[in-house]
A = this chain, B = another copy of it.
């Protein structure tokens, strides 16, 4: 993005009009050319990534961060394959979601149109650059990306491939902008372009989300933290509950859909908790519990309020014993982040009370929180998981990057009969 942020965003807005008009086939073949370009320029991308990695090591970034930043041939090919998968997804643009005929005789359709220009602000991982661009373009939008500074060279190399494919398709490369200026001022300017940018999606930690929420004049859909709960009810199948617990905490602790808190009904706590604690500890999970949990599990450290509100993103779990469903619900309402909550119970009535009482984006009965993911929930791919209860809530795919509007087709209908004057006047059309 050269020149001022505003000028660049204006170019993107103009290019977005072109993207909005593309046929499904044109968009899909564009995405496939982008994938081919990534495969063909793997060497260039890896060279750029090597420089990012070197700088990151010099800055002393931790191993987890380094791993998220690192690319190799397989990972670049994976990014290309993800673009090919987005090409296979249904095109939301132009979908007629409802169609009816008015009593006045005209037809009323609800039709999906692109949002316009979407800005995405995200942290380290370079694959998000390609994923977000692909989903936004598939949904007919222009996209402005602002990635983390650690991945700047990798992001530039990836964006160069994607923009090259736009040019080769005879389209404006401005449909995809990568913000080079990573200053706070440039980000602020971007967030306030309410006449150009239609949506801003911040995806990252508390600091980023707060910064964007406080300063944006553009509509924001937050992809915020997941403090996900598993509540093991008095009528749970404890075997299922244990599987769901292990999967939720251990299978990928760095994911936002990993479990952070286990709540157990007092009736089964003495049986379930020691067994669960042992299985978790065997897998390296550190446990922080309330008083009653600690009494049942000797190896457990005491948890405080901050622990119960924390998204650990690591092998840590908070544990609490509750006397009722209501106490579990109150805990989740107090400490949860509206992301994903799970109940393990064989009592359908308790399950439904849990589902209806909570307003989190994803609520589950007897299933792992790790399924709270666009791919697993049938969206094909996701741009992230919205924790904003507006427009899209939970995993967001291409469809969530469009909006329904109204199209009416009639034969001259008017609302007030007195307006129908033409028949009284001399005919002009012949």
Contacts and interface: CB of A to CB of B under 8 A. Distances in A.
A128 interface: no
B368 A405 contact: no
A116 interface: yes
A416 B108 contact: no
A113 B359 contact: yes
A387 to B, nearest CB: 11
Interface string A338-377: 0000001000000100011101111111111011100011
A335 interface: no
Interface stretch (A51-59, A153-161, A237-245): A237-245
Given A405-B394, A422-B239, A370 B410 contact: no
A9 B418 CA distance: 47
Number of copies of this protein chain within its complex: 2
Interface residues of A, number: 86
A389 B355 contact: no
Interface in A376-397: 376-378, 388-391, 393-395
Given A367-B408, A414-B370, A239 B423 contact: yes
A115 interface: yes
Interface stretch (A42-50, A61-69, A80-88, A98-106): A98-106
A143 to B, nearest CB: 15
Contact of A364 (B355, B404, B408): B408
B357 A389 contact: no
A144 interface: no
Interface stretch (A129-137, A214-222, A310-318): A214-222
Given A240-B422, A409-B367, A100 B378 contact: yes
A376 B106 CA distance: 11
Contact of A367 (B275, B355, B393, B413): B413
A279 interface: yes
Interface string A222-247: 00000000000000011110111011
Contacts of A264: none
A181 interface: no
B217 A194 contact: no
B420 A243 contact: yes
A197 to B, nearest CB: 11
A410 B345 CA distance: 11
Q: Which 10 A-B pairs have the closest CB atoms?
A: A240-B412, A247-B419, A367-B410, A239-B422, A247-B414, A391-B391, A370-B415, A251-B416, A364-B408, A362-B406
Interface of A: 20-21, 100, 102, 104, 106, 108, 113-116, 194, 198-199, 213-214, 217, 219-220, 237-240, 242-244, 246-247, 250-251, 271-272, 275, 279, 344, 351, 355-357, 359-368, 370-372, 376-378, 388-391, 393-395, 403-416, 418-423, 425, 427-429
